[in-house]
Structure 1
Amino acid sequence: MNEGFLSGVSGSLDKGRIRQDNEAIILPAAERVFARYGFRGTTMQQIADAAELPKANLHYYFGNKQTLYLRVLERILQDWLAPLEGISASADPKTALAEYVGKKIAFSFERPEASRLFANEILQGAQVVHPLLKTALRSLVEQKARILDSWILAGTLRPMDTTHFFFTVWSMTQTYADFDIQIAAVLGDNSRNRAAQARATEHVMSCIWRICGLDDEE
């Protein structure tokens, strides 16, 4: 095989890895800065400083602040929706819902900036992320609600509005990120440690089991 071709392939792979490595640094840094200052209050230089990379790198990989902001929101939405994957027609309902709720609370405790950034985007009218909400989010919620409907028909879950069920889960789990200052004011300095996360998870789970009619199961 032509050595020049192999060299070109190797060079492309190296560039791809470098890009992935840099994006893995830039996106979390941008998430933190956007969450703190908002889209309008954030500059590319602030993100570059947080990422400890030259500002030129940000423009090279993302072009401008608007594109980077959209990419950050896409990443958050992707990670935010990922726990829904465990809800499948063949899954045990209680196991699947426990895993889903647990991951949602873990996301709020481990990445509160991401949750707050996304919430602020929604509160401001979702001007950037609205197309994603109407496509990816809507489609996935409709799909998972149909699975819960099938569990209800099978007698596994108590009858309920399965779409609004997800709204309820979101409100119960995301509050630990979006209103963490309020929660800390009540619980004190230990409001975000592992014990606090376990306590929150246990409480939310117990509420979900009552909603679903699973609270009497062994």
Structure 2
Amino acid sequence: MMKMVLSSRVFIARVIVGFFLLITCGMTYGTESDISCLKSVKASLEDPYNYLQSWNFEHKAEGFICKFTGVECWNLLENRVLNLKLSNMGLKGHFPRGIRNCSSLTGLDLSNNRLSKTIPEDISTLLTFVTSLDLSSNDFTGAIPVSLANCSYLNTIKLDQNKLTGQIPEELTQLQRLKSFSVSNNFLTGRIPTFRCGVASADSYANNSGLCGAPLDPCRA
């Protein structure tokens, strides 16, 4: 009987130790992943005004990346990025694909910069849990990626003031959490998808001469 009790206690102890090791390894991986994410983002962007000068990866300390300009963490003592706010910094380059390594990211704001080329077609694999996406006032070209509809947590999408072309993907209406959508001042064409009431207004589509349908003028037959 005593042997069974001791054996049971040993088993439970091993389970507990294994559980904590799993958590620790997972947190370490997430931490290293987020550090790698920010390194990649910084390396991929031209920063003419040195706004990212504070992104110094040499002096590591607990939660050190949480002190970087534009970086908000889930916890100040843990290197897990919650939001990345790099608005109005004059940054140049393309959409930073290294952002995929910020695996806990919920908000991305790259507005008012000079980013160009297309928005990645596989953007849903780069921004798995993002609830807010602001790419407005840049120089992005090409179409709005259909895969954006797979970012199922999105509440806000701002793509205003770019050089986007083509139609607004109908699939975006499948975003059940979407509360705000705006694409004004682009070169978009075609019929506007029917979003739920309150998601978009006429101002959301302003200055896209090729768009038609409610809340803008009816499309011609």
> What TM-score do you get using the length of structure 2 for normalisation?
0.29
**Which structure carries more strand by proportion?**
2
> What TM-score do you get using the length of structure 1 for normalisation?
0.29
Structure with larger RCO (C-alpha < 8 A, sep 6+)? 1
